Amino acid sequence: MRWTGVGDGKWWRTAGTALMRVIAVWAVSTLTMLALAGALPDFQLQSDDGDTVTRTAFTAAWGAGAFGLLSALVWPVLVRSLLIVPALVLGALVFFLNGSLLLIALRLIPDGRGDAAPETAVVVAAVMSAVASATSTALAVRDDDAYRRRLARLADRRRRRGRSPAPAEPGRDGPPGTVFLQLDGVGHDVLVGAAAAGLMPTVARWLADSSGHRLTPWRTDWSSQTGASQLAILHGSNHDVPAFRWYEKETRTVMVSSRPASALEMQRRAIERTRDGGLLTVDGASRGNLFSGGAGQLALVLSMAARRGKGRRSRAGYFAYFSDPANATRTALSFVAEVLREIGQSTRARARKVTPRIKRGGLYPFIRAFATVVERDVVAAAVLGDMFAGRTAVYADLVAYDEVAHHSGPHSRDAEKVLVRLDRSLALIAKIADHTPRAYRIVLLSDHGQSPGETFAGKYGLTLKDLVRAGCGLPVPRRAQRTRSASEARDAVRIALHRPVEGQEDEHPAKLSDPIVLASGNLGLISFPDIEGRASREQIERSHPALLSTLANHPGIGFLLVRSEEHGSVVLGPGGAEIPVAELTDDEGPLADFGVGAAAAVRRTDTFPHVADVMVNSMYDPATGTVHAFEEQIGSHGGLGGEQSRPFLLWPRALTDPLDIVAAETAEGAPVPPGGGLVGAEAVHRVLTRWLQESSGPQVPVRAEGFAGAGPADEPFPGQAPAPDAPGTTA
């Protein structure tokens, strides 16, 4: 493998730069050791009779060099052997073992001049490791060539050990691999605007190149969120996923897409329905996703975090990445910078009284830093390692933009800066592709967009749950009692309770238990746990006669979906609008503002076994593109309305146009998509499957037997050790 600057007459410059870095790190480590020897009474670098300054400096240089050499040669072996222990035990052992290396280094100093108490050695070793890594990272902080070379060496080491596929021929003949990069939450219009504004020059270059990439939008299902979209993209089905979170009456369970146990169950159901393992069953890798896609190589995959036994390896990515001190220091520094950046941005937003605005204190700065720095770096490194290993298909999710847009807004300056940094990651991956053992096609896509708007609670002073409880005549918090919405709901309840229910004049309606109200962006779900199966409109109105009219006529709500015993499922809207689902159209009625395909999306969700008793979609203003999230988000997704339902697909021109694939399916008898175009995440799955077949030949589906498609336990990045059998983390 050849790199720029190697073999073209400039090899001496690369070697000289590396040598200067080694000398600089050694010098800083020596000064650090001298400073620690002067500050710590149990740490000495002199003989009992004392030494000259020159002699002491020589002793420090010897000790620092010996410690650095032991760290470089012995530390990777120690980390690799320690990855079999749980994470908490590993965290404690790291300090003691590092201290042990320092004690050995001190014993290697001539004439026994180096000495330290064991507890002092732990402190000295930790400080010196941090300083050395920080110095090395600072010298190469934006040196992507050095980063690529390190990954290349790791990949070559792994191949020499026979742990990964053999590389292609030097001419890179053979079928290309495919890398699918999901920019979580980036809508089609946001991507186009960012490319045009120069925020994403890599994307702009791909679009401008006549032989580069092509771009098309696609439409999500009603549930426009990662759980539904990515499940269908990777596993071919999102049937019975009505929202990001929903209540299942038969088990009295709240399913949440971001919980490992729920993600595992969602994946199992999809595999059972499709009867194949997923998009990545053939030599695939899944990185940073909610679901595995049937990949054999897994890192940071949420659904795998809930598994027991050998396959529980979702934290492999973290251990593999952070076992390299340079990676750990580089990411740690960026993490701190991102926390400070968020604090500064939120303070500036408050000072300027930016609206809409939500609270961004507490743990959020650290959550944001994790999503925008740690997750990005670990996933990007995993993708680069997969490319050097020559994997056939890689699917990775980069969640940075989605996290920031929720709290700052999808068109905010904060979110734009995240797009700039994501584009740098894309540029690095694209540059790496020129040096991998096989050629790679890079497909960029998103799972949904985001729609801006003030939160429902911010606009009306009470949450959807408060409004539902007020409409049921139940107590609400004092802050909500003073709002106009709650007052009107209470008045409606009083009027309704004095009006006899038809056919029920002589009996008191049965009281239901408190409703369960869940929010998924601007989509709300209301369930009555005491009613077996899906509650009907008539059942709800017998116990809570004011609830449905209160919700349907609220200015912050666009429409409701509820089942009627007389008319089947109906959509309710303002002014007493009531339209059977079978008669819904996109042109008139409550769905008129929501665009093409809204009626079909509602009809499809209505068939789900676990659709809520009442599905609530917020209002949508087509003039401003705004919605009102039922969660604390000023950039939201999860329901219908605006940019959230319009993600993108960016693909190399060598691959078949997705619309041609849809047209071929229609010609073979598939239903015509409402409004045309690429509709639904399941259609995206079929397109990506077709592209893999075009790139690498027919993909052999893995049939599901019990829980299939999960693949074997993960092997981490090239040259790194296998991960411990430890609990997973979120994707």
Transcribe 498-559 into DSSP letters.
Answer: TSPPTT-TTSPPPPPPPPEEEEETTEEEEE-TTSSSSPBHHHHHHH-TTHHHHHHT-TTEEE
- What is the structure's pLDDT at 482? 67
Place 165 in a pLDDT band, splitting at 50, 70 and 90.
very low
* Percent of the residues in the chain that have a pLDDT greater than 90, as a whole number: 50
Asked if residue 437 and residue 498 are part of one domain, the reply reads: no
pLDDT higher at 653 or 149:
653
> In terms of pLDDT, which residue wins out, 339 or 717?
339
Lowest mean pLDDT among 47-61, 317-331, 354-368, 565-579: 317-331
Name the domain boundary from 601, 616, 633.
633
For the chain, state the CA radius of gyration. 29
Q: For residues 659-687, give the mean pLDDT.
A: 90
Q: 340 and 213, same structural domain?
A: yes
Mean pLDDT, rounded, for 336-344 = 91
CA-to-CA distance for 186 and 199, rounded, in angstroms? 13
Contacts for 55 with CB less than 8 Å, ≥ 6 apart: 46
Strands, DSSP E only, in 161-306?
177-183, 213-217, 245-248, 253-256, 284-287, 297-299
pLDDT at 587 over 50: yes
Of residues 515 and 718, more confidently modeled? 515
Rounded CA separation 61/74 (Å) = 19
Which residue range forms the structural domain that includes residue 621?
Answer: 456-633
pLDDT bucket at 498, cuts 50 / 70 / 90: low
Q: Are residues 473 and 601 in the same domain?
A: yes
- In this structure, the dihedral spanned by the alpha carbons of residues 692, 693, 696 and 698, taken in order and rounded to 10 degrees, is 130
DSSP secondary structure code for residue 213 in this structure: E
Instruction: Let me know if residue 325 belongs to a domain.
Output: yes
pLDDT score at 724: 30
Pairwise pLDDT comparison (367 vs 107), residue with the higher score: 367
pTM of the model: 0.79
Mean pLDDT is lowest, of 131-135, 169-173, 179-183, for: 169-173
Would you place residue 119 in the very low, low, confident or very high pLDDT band (cuts 50, 70, 90)?
Answer: confident
b or e along 192-207 (b: 16 or more beta carbons within 10 Å of the residue's beta carbon)? bebbeeebbbbbbebb
Query: What whole-number distance in Å separates Cα of residue 393 and Cα of residue 179?
Result: 6
pLDDT at 617: 97
pLDDT digits (tens, 9 = 90+) for 274-321: 998 899 999 999 999 999 999 988 888 998 875 654 444 545 566 667
Instruction: Tell whether 205 and 126 lie within a shared domain.
Output: no
How far CA 217 is from CA of 69, 92, 214, 446, 673, in Å, comes to: 53, 49, 11, 10, 14
- In terms of domains, do 47 and 190 share one? no
Q: Based on the domain organization, do 196 and 332 belong to the same domain? A: yes
Positions of E strands within 587-677: 614-618, 620-621, 626-627, 635-636, 648-652
Q: Is the pLDDT of residue 672 over 90?
A: no
Q: Which of 282, 269, 284 is nearest to 236 (CA)?
A: 269
The larger pLDDT score, comparing residue 649 to residue 307, is at: 649
Give the number of other CB atoms < 10 A from CB of residue 335.
Answer: 17
| Strand bridging mode 297-299 / 284-287 | parallel
Quick check: is 55 in a domain?
A: yes
Whether the pLDDT of residue 711 is over 50: the answer is: no
Is pLDDT at 462 greater than 60 in this prediction? yes
For residues 250 and 38, which has the higher predicted lDDT (pLDDT)?
A: 250
Whole-number pLDDT of residue 134: 67
Kindly state whether residues 599 and 651 are assigned to the same domain: no
731 is a domain residue: no
Indicate whether 92 pLDDT > 60: no
CATH number at residue 376: 3.40.720.10
The pLDDT of residue 162 is 44
- What's at 131, amino acid-wise? V
Shared-domain flag, residues 449 and 460: no
Strands 516-520 and 568-572: unpaired
User: Is 729 contained in some domain?
Assistant: no
Is the pLDDT at 353 greater than 60, yes or no? yes
For the chain, the straight-line distance linking the first and the last C-alpha, in angstroms and rounded, comes to 33
Cβ 558 vs Cβ 594: under 8 Å = yes
Domain count, the chain: 3
Domain match, 619 and 666 both = no
Q: Please say which residue of 633, 665, 687 terminates a domain.
A: 633
Name the phi and psi angles at 500, rounded to 5: -60, 140
3-state secondary structure (DSSP) of residue 273: helix
The answer to whether residue 724 sits within a structural domain is no
With a cut of 60, say whether residue 151 has pLDDT above it: no
pLDDT of residue 408: 95
What gap in Å lies between CA 496 and CA 500, rounded to an integer?
8
Cα maximum dimension of the chain: 105
* Dihedral over Cα of 607, 610, 613, 614: its sign: negative
For 209-213, what is the mean pLDDT?
84
pLDDT band at 124, cuts 50/70/90?
Answer: confident
For the chain, what is the mean pLDDT?
81
Residue 417: per-residue pLDDT: 96
| Residue 716 located in a structural domain | no
- Reported as a pLDDT band with limits 50, 70 and 90, residue 150 is low
Does 2 score more than 70 pLDDT? no
Q: Are 633 and 263 in contact (CB under 8 A)?
A: no
| 372 and 257 in a common domain | yes
477 lies in the same domain as 589: yes
Is residue 239 predicted with pLDDT exceeding 60? yes
- The pair of three-digit structure tokens given for residue 151, joined into one six-digit string: 């990954």
Residue 158 has pLDDT above 90, yes or no: no
Same domain? For 626 and 671 the reply is no
Residue 3, domain member (yes or no): no
Mean pLDDT of 140-164: 51
Percent of the chain with pLDDT over 70: 76
pLDDT band at residue 254 under the 50/70/90 scheme: very high
Above 80 in pLDDT, residue 599? yes
Please tell me the predicted confidence (pLDDT) of residue 328: 66
564 belongs to a structural domain: yes
pLDDT of residue 153: 55
- Predicted local distance difference test score (pLDDT) of residue 110: 76
| 3-state SS, residue 296 | coil
Task: Give the pLDDT mean for 243-258.
Answer: 95
